Amino acid sequence: MKIDMAYGSGGKQTSNLINDIFLKNFDNAVLAKMEDSAVLKVNGKIAYTTDSFVVTPIFFRGGDIGKVAVCGTVNDLLMMGAIPKYLTAGFIIEEGADMETIDQIAQSMSQAAREAKVKIVAGDTKVIEGKGGVYINTSGIGEIKTNGISISNCRKGDVILLSGNLGEHHAAIMSHRMGIENTIQSDCAPLRSMVKNLLDNNIKVHCMRDVTRGGLATVLNEVSKSSSCGVEIYEDSLPVSVQVRGFCDILGLDPLYMANEGKMIAVIPKSQAKKALAIMQKSRYGSNAAIIGKIVEGSGVIMTTALKGSRIIDILYGEGLPRIC
Amino acid sequence: MKIDMAYGSGGKQTSNLINDIFLKNFDNAVLAKMEDSAVLKVNGKIAYTTDSFVVTPIFFRGGDIGKVAVCGTVNDLLMMGAIPKYLTAGFIIEEGADMETIDQIAQSMSQAAREAKVKIVAGDTKVIEGKGGVYINTSGIGEIKTNGISISNCRKGDVILLSGNLGEHHAAIMSHRMGIENTIQSDCAPLRSMVKNLLDNNIKVHCMRDVTRGGLATVLNEVSKSSSCGVEIYEDSLPVSVQVRGFCDILGLDPLYMANEGKMIAVIPKSQAKKALAIMQKSRYGSNAAIIGKIVEGSGVIMTTALKGSRIIDILYGEGLPRIC
């Protein structure tokens, strides 16, 4: 069955869509009350964030727009040292979308939410003209357990850890669009257990950031700017899978600027770096974690290349890969 | 200047857009930190909601998509007896949109947020192909001051108040689309002071609901269903302006099914109904408030017509007016 404009009317059809798809998949008592807002209890300091998702194709190897929409917002909360608790989901659906597609997306959101231990407590649906596309906004609330984690909190001597291989989400989306056959999967994943393991083991994390649009290069430049410091990384140390490396070589791509959806950096005091690395590597989605650099005096991001040269790493200019997330 | 896909890359251009437009207009310390999430302190019980906005045209008499995006979410929080505190804003911008348009929308959001006393603390921007359109999601958090206000809390004998004239947003949008010249303005407004006045004056509100998509007819049916009660309204008592009445007569529209963006119903114990009405009428946006009906035994919504007949009022079927909010 196809979705038409009536499903966005706020009347009978909207109500059917909510009952048949969203209440079924996001089953929980708060949502089922169908109030104008969810009523929740939270304690003390919270993290609060939002992200919209427009990735195309909607389904790709390793995930879909629903999974990305949950993981993206969950990871943004985690990066502030918060344990994700609640999400909202706002759907903008283009006329002509299959009801089954929306159901599959909702199932996938539900599954990712279960893994991340968050509840989807409020939602909204609008329908616009178009060709069957879907856009999803999620916002999220997390409870902050650990204070002071901030993009502006990196200090000279701190060590930079990266949680795994670069470029997989980007390469998976691009392969799909170009019709290239390979086994590259999106890395899309919720990093709850990795972050929780770091915090529960008393690692004094100074800063965390998920490495999404704009890639590692852009994130490290944001660190440099916000913490007024320099960043030094080593090309040799950057984890990239053989498949993605080959993909990049053929297409002239740089993994430093490629988007990821299940990778983070953590900036850690030098004294705890090895312990933190071991924790990351033992955590789900962290087996390829590596120490990739350090915080230094100065400004900007410098990479020591494999040939022991130096290269200035700037923020992403231009459009990168449109609609990557 | 036009927005192109590069503004959605997460790199340099995205950063410019954030700095030049969003940080400038939504100026506050939390947002300016540019973390992955806002860090906030909240106390106890909160209301949490989300809404996406796809209204077209973007600018109309009495408001624009930015004003609606703030008021809609603010009002959803208020309807749970919560005082709105924080919003997030997620923009999906179609390629080709004017930078100036986005700036105007952001200004309008900023102005509505000031009136509603909320801070926009987190945001996100994506760019998609298209013809210069804009979609906005807002989510919001409010602090609940009064417990037990719920769509399922209406009781037999309760009186139903409506805060003002019906159909103005709907008629304004429709006039614009049809090129009809008149003076009808959207009623889009944040109802903070009205709700606060009711609660501060110890009115024991059983239920509040803003009357948006689907119109009064749909909202009253939701009340009937959630509270397992009947609803009786009087056609005579429904406030509709002369202009909107004329507009409806010519086009064969029914104000009961027309969307509003600054109207609410409040369901109040009979003993307090007159006091509550006086408070509403003295509040901003409430001068035309009226008692329009009551909660009765049974189920469904019945209207006593001007000619003293009875008419069953059903939920909205079909598409209503697409992209009304």
Q: Within this chain, do residues B101 and B218 fall inside the same structural domain, yes or no?
A: no
As a whole number, mean pLDDT of residues B268-295 equals 98
B4 pLDDT exceeds 90?
yes
Q: Within this chain, do residues A294 and A222 fall inside the same structural domain, yes or no?
A: yes
Give tens-digit pLDDT for B240-263.
999 999 999 999 999 999 999 999
Residue A151 lies in a domain: no
The pLDDT confidence band at residue B318, using thresholds 50, 70 and 90, is confident
| Residue of B127, B208, B213 with shortest CB distance to A10 | B213
* Domain termination site, one of A144, A167, A197: A144
Query: What pLDDT was estimated at residue A321?
Result: 92
User: How many interchain CB pairs under 8 A, A with B?
Assistant: 273
Those of residues 157-216 in B touching chain A at CB distance below 8 A are: 208-210, 212-214
Q: Within this chain, do residues A116 and A165 fall inside the same structural domain, yes or no?
A: no
Residue A80 in contact with partner chain B when CB distance is under 8 A: yes
**Is residue A28 within 8 Å of residue A121, measured between CB atoms?**
yes
Query: Taking CA atoms, what residue in B is nearest to A316?
Result: B11
CA atoms within 13 A on the CB side of B249: 7
* Domain termination site, one of B121, B144, B167: B144
Record: contact A53-B126, CB cut-off 8 A: yes
Residue A132 in contact with partner chain B when CB distance is under 8 A: no
Residue A322 lies in a domain: no
Residues of A in Cβ contact (< 8 Å) with B210: 36
Those of residues 254-313 in B touching chain A at CB distance below 8 A are: 259
Number of domains in chain B: 2
As a whole number, mean pLDDT of residues B317-321 equals 87
Contacts of A114 (CB under 8 A, 6+ apart): none
Residue A47 lies in a domain: yes
- At B238, which CATH number? 3.90.650.10
Q: To which residue do tokens 């700017």 refer? A: A225
Residue B152 lies in a domain: no
Those of residues 10-39 in B touching chain A at CB distance below 8 A are: 10-15, 33-39
Q: Within this chain, do residues A168 and A304 fall inside the same structural domain, yes or no?
A: yes
State the DSSP string of B82-150: EEEEEEEEEEEEETT-BHHHHHHHHHHHHHHHHHHT-EEEEEEEEEESSSS-EEEEEEEEEEE-S----
> Which amino acid is located at A228 in the chain?
S
Contacts of B1 (CB under 8 A, 6+ apart): B98, B99, B100
Q: Within this chain, do residues A60 and A106 fall inside the same structural domain, yes or no?
A: yes
Residue B320 lies in a domain: no
Q: Within this chain, do residues A287 and A247 fall inside the same structural domain, yes or no?
A: yes
**Separation between Cα atoms, residue B159 and residue B271, nearest integer Å:** 9
Residue B259 Cα, gap to closest chain A Cα (Å): 10
**Separation between Cα atoms, residue B71 and residue B118, nearest integer Å:** 10
> Which amino acid is located at A208 in the chain?
M
* Domain termination site, one of B144, B167, B188: B144
- Other beta carbons less than 10 A from residue B72's beta carbon: 28
Give tens-digit pLDDT for B107-163.
999 999 999 999 999 999 999 999 999 999 999 999 998 999 999 999 999 999 999
Residue B49 lies in a domain: yes
> Which amino acid is located at B194 in the chain?
M
Query: What pLDDT was estimated at residue B27?
Result: 87
Q: Within this chain, do residues A309 and A171 fall inside the same structural domain, yes or no?
A: yes
Tell me the residue range of the domain where B273 lies.
Answer: 159-313
Inter-CA distances, B108 with A229, B68, B104, B115, B140, Å: 37, 9, 6, 11, 17
Q: Within this chain, do residues A111 and A180 fall inside the same structural domain, yes or no?
A: no
Which phi and psi (to 5°) does residue A203 adopt?
Answer: -70, 130
Record: contact B42-A40, CB cut-off 8 A: no
Q: Write out residues in chain A with pLDDT < 50, as ranges.
A: none
Record: contact B37-A14, CB cut-off 8 A: no
Q: How does DSSP classify residue A2?
A: B
The pLDDT confidence band at residue B320, using thresholds 50, 70 and 90, is confident
Average pLDDT, chain B: 96
**Separation between Cα atoms, residue A286 and residue A288, nearest integer Å:** 5
Residue A13 lies in a domain: yes
Record: contact B214-A40, CB cut-off 8 A: no
How big is chain B, counted in residues? 325
Those of residues 94-123 in A touching chain B at CB distance below 8 A are: 121-123
Query: What pLDDT was estimated at residue A27?
Result: 87
Q: Within this chain, do residues B223 and B283 fall inside the same structural domain, yes or no?
A: yes
| Residue of A12, A50, A323 with shortest CB distance to B317 | A12
Residue B290 Cα, gap to closest chain A Cα (Å): 22
Give tens-digit pLDDT for A229-284.
999 999 999 999 999 999 999 999 999 999 999 999 999 999 999 999 999 999 99
Residue A324 lies in a domain: no
Residues of A in Cβ contact (< 8 Å) with B58: none
**Separation between Cα atoms, residue A134 and residue A72, nearest integer Å:** 16
- At B97, which CATH number? 3.30.1330.10
Record: contact B80-A139, CB cut-off 8 A: no
Give tens-digit pLDDT for A171-188.
999 999 999 999 999 999
Q: ∠ CA(A141), CA(B145), CA(B79), 5° rounding?
A: 75
**Separation between Cα atoms, residue B82 and residue A237, nearest integer Å:** 51
Record: contact B323-A79, CB cut-off 8 A: no
Which stretches within chain B are classed as H helix? Answer: 12-17, 24-25, 29-32, 65-78, 99-116, 168-178, 192-200, 215-226, 242-251, 273-282
- Other beta carbons less than 10 A from residue A181's beta carbon: 5
Record: contact B48-A41, CB cut-off 8 A: no
Q: Hey, of B4, B9, B79, B317, which one would you mutate to test binding to chain A, going by the most A CBs within 10 A of its CB?
A: B9
Query: What pLDDT was estimated at residue A319?
Result: 81
Q: Within this chain, do residues B274 and B247 fall inside the same structural domain, yes or no?
A: yes
Give tens-digit pLDDT for B186-244.
999 999 999 999 999 999 999 999 999 999 999 999 999 999 999 999 999 999 999 99
Q: Within this chain, do residues B174 and B240 fall inside the same structural domain, yes or no?
A: yes
Q: Within this chain, do residues A93 and A218 fall inside the same structural domain, yes or no?
A: no
